[in-house]
Amino acid sequence: MCRTGAVSDVIIRRADIDAMLVGKTIGEAKVVKEDYLAAFAQAIVPVRGRISAKYRKAVCMNLLCDFLESNGI
């Protein structure tokens, strides 16, 4: 498991947001990618800790973007 040091290993699952991509082809997923990322950006509300919440959210969004891109989306 890759650890960033900025976020915990708790996974945020949002079936309502994931439904935007479930069953879509890569091409269809690319069309809704920005809306998907915007929805997760609204949903991710990190608590303040040793590292600022703003930085923690940026790390989460970067990891999500990297995951999508590594899967062709």
Q: Is the confidence at residue 71, as pLDDT, over 70?
A: yes
Whether 2 is covered by a domain: the verdict is no
The residue segments making up the domain with residue 45 are: 15-70
Whether 10 is covered by a domain: the verdict is no
Single-letter code of the amino acid located at 59: V
pLDDT at 45: 81
Q: Say if CB 24 and CB 32 are below 8 A apart.
A: yes
Whether 3 is covered by a domain: the verdict is no
Single-letter code of the amino acid located at 67: F
- Tens digit of each residue's pLDDT (9 = 90 or more) over 11-47: 778 999 999 999 999 999 999 999 999 999 998 887 7
Whether 42 is covered by a domain: the verdict is yes
pLDDT at 59: 87
Tally of domains within the chain: 1
pLDDT at 67: 94
In angstroms, the CA 47 to CA 33 distance is 26
Tokens of 54: 């703003």
Supply the pTM of this predicted model.
0.78
pLDDT at 5: 61
Whether 48 is covered by a domain: the verdict is yes
